[in-house]
Structure 1
Amino acid sequence: MENKNEVIEGNEQETLFQQLPQEEQQRIIDANQKRVREAQTLHEWDIRVSTAFAWPMILIVVGSMMLFGGAAVWFAGDNDWTFVYMMIGMSIVMTLYLRYLVMADKHYHYRLTTEGLIITYQDTIPEMAYTIVRGLAWLGVVVCVMAVAVLGPLALVGAGGMALFAVFFTNFEKKVSVEYTVFNKDKKYVVKVVENRGIIRFDIIPFSWFEFSYLYCNEVELYKILSSLMKELGCNEYREFKSELSLRRAPVGVLDVGTPIRLDEINK
């Protein structure tokens, strides 16, 4: 096979690709990624993106904890609100943990080339936060070991689990991820857009996990990037959606979705 033309096509090609030896799979992936890296850059930009639906999910989790605390006091029939205060404290800690560690904003760097797309992303968590979490994790390990030493083997029931959980965070550090999407210009694509969120998504038809991607960009650059992308994919129209939720609910790898808008309309 020629190195520069080994783009994986369609579901049948995916199956054939997965049946290849691991070394051959990696060779093809490396060749495709190199082709994307060495191609002409059309656009390059950075953007910070909030996690979709982060606050609603956090409110559900924290609200459930608060309701549980209130219900426990109510059904107990006493006036001891200590448990409720504990749940409030846990809710505050859980809110900060979920929003700024689990569902942190992400920093994306995009490089759109004539052969594909390179996405580099990482959580926008201050380095100090990683240092604090690692410090608390090591403190937790020490406390668990001391609990076992003082209370004996029975402490392993609770302290053992806590120690394992704490050890998991001792190497907590910032990770940078890189993803490649290779354009298959022999196939048909559908491009989807959410204008008010600056979101572009493109899928190959029929859908393939190897050839679809999300793009986030500033609204002022949206149509400039969209125009370049559509020309490379050979598309003369895109599909517009009113919200990110409606985009996520739409079928993948299907052309007849959203509101069709022609490329020449956005170039006027």
Structure 2
Amino acid sequence: MNKVNEVSEASEQETPFHLLPQEEQHRISATNQKRVREASTIHEWEIRIRESFVPIFILLLIGIPVLIGAWMLWNESSNGWVFIIVGAVMFPYLRYLVMADKHYYYRLTTEGLIVTYHEAIPEVAYTIVRGLAWLGVVACVMAVAVLGPLALVGAGGMALLAVFFTGFEKKPTTEYTVFNKDKAYVVKVVKNRGLIRFDAIPFSWFEFSYMYCHEGDVYKILSCLMDELGCNEYREFKNELSLRRAPVGVLDVGVPRKLDEINK
């Protein structure tokens, strides 16, 4: 069935979508989201993912102060413990707050993809941060009461920052990607990472998305996706970096594979 959807209308008009009035952008986005949301579900799954760069990034940020501290201790400077303690404190902060794993819930429909995700931060971490934030607010108020208005020079900014974190909580984000049945698509895969990317040709932000899945489910999800997009082959990549560096909306990338070759 040949459908002309809101996305194709936006892409074919003379004015690019991002230059349209806010009201028109909102109307097109709302229409697309409604169509994807109300379509029949083909497959749905959830998965927890750690970004590939996280271990290396944390190792660098933590390793530098620890190495400096170890070098200072080797040279009989007790100040080296300061750097080691800073590294030890930074590790849980970076790992569980700044660069936490992400929990994804995917719903693949006949009209597009819905993904809802949030930071996989332990609930105790939210409680601790909120507690420390309120403690910071109280400390700032006491500083002003004891030291007078001059304390506002430093305490004021700290108080505002602390108040911001008193409402620290888990906030899920939902994104929609719509299928444009009037366009060709290219599907790109990193099998050992369970990472799938599909993008329309020519490229459009509305018709482009990444999907993570369990390695054992790659065949099932690829089969569903390629059937809906009308693709008879996918493009295979060795690792996530090579896939993310591949140009979007371009067919001649990666190694062409047929679906029945996925387990070979």
Q: How high is the TM-score relative to the length of structure 2?
A: 0.88
* Counterpart pick for 1:255 among 248, 251, 258: 251
Residue aligning to 1:28: 28
Cα distance in 1 for partners of 2:68, 2:150 equals: 29
Cα separation, partners in 2 of 1:13 and 1:189, compared to 1, 3 Å: farther
Kept in 1: contact 2:100–2:121 (CA 8 A) = yes
The CA deviation at 1:9 is: 6.1
Residue aligning to 1:225: 221
Task: State the percentage of identical aligned residues.
Answer: 71
* Counterpart pick for 1:128 among 121, 124, 131: 124
In structure 1, the gaps of 5 or more residues are none
The CA deviation at 1:86 is: 2.1
Cα separation, partners in 2 of 1:10 and 1:233, compared to 1, 3 Å: farther
Alignment map for 1:51-66 (pairs within 5 Å): 51-66=51-66
Partner deviation per Cα, 1:227-261 (whole Å, 9 max, x = no partner):
11011111111111111111112222221111110
Partner deviation per Cα, 1:170-193 (whole Å, 9 max, x = no partner):
110110111100001111211110
Kept in 2: contact 1:8–1:17 (CA 8 A) = no
Letter in structure 2 aligned against 1:195: K
Cα separation, partners in 2 of 1:121 and 1:234, compared to 1, 3 Å: same
Residue aligning to 2:101: 105
The CA deviation at 1:129 is: 1.7
The CA deviation at 1:13 is: 4.8
Greater alpha carbon shift after TM alignment, 175-184 vs 37-46: 37-46
Cα separation, partners in 2 of 1:14 and 1:147, compared to 1, 3 Å: farther
The CA RMSD over aligned residues, in Å, is 2.7
Kept in 1: contact 2:133–2:162 (CA 8 A) = yes
Letter in structure 1 aligned against 2:119: D
Cα separation, partners in 2 of 1:80 and 1:146, compared to 1, 3 Å: farther
Cα separation, partners in 2 of 1:261 and 1:161, compared to 1, 3 Å: same
The CA deviation at 1:156 is: 4.0
Cα distance in 1 for partners of 2:14, 2:208 equals: 14
Kept in 2: contact 1:4–1:31 (CA 8 A) = no
Partner deviation per Cα, 1:191-229 (whole Å, 9 max, x = no partner):
110100111011112222221111111111111110110
Kept in 2: contact 1:8–1:14 (CA 8 A) = no
Letter in structure 1 aligned against 2:214: N
The CA deviation at 1:266 is: 4.5
* Counterpart pick for 1:85 among 66, 74, 81: 81
| Counterpart secondary structure, 1:162 | helix
Kept in 2: contact 1:8–1:210 (CA 8 A) = no
Cα distance in 2 for partners of 1:240, 1:9 equals: 31
The CA deviation at 1:15 is: 4.2
Cα distance in 2 for partners of 1:15, 1:57 equals: 41
The CA deviation at 1:122 is: 1.3
Cα distance in 1 for partners of 2:158, 2:62 equals: 22
Matched, 1:168 2:164: yes
| Counterpart secondary structure, 1:7 | helix
Cα distance in 1 for partners of 2:68, 2:15 equals: 48
Greater alpha carbon shift after TM alignment, 50-59 vs 179-188: 50-59
Cα distance in 2 for partners of 1:46, 1:229 equals: 16
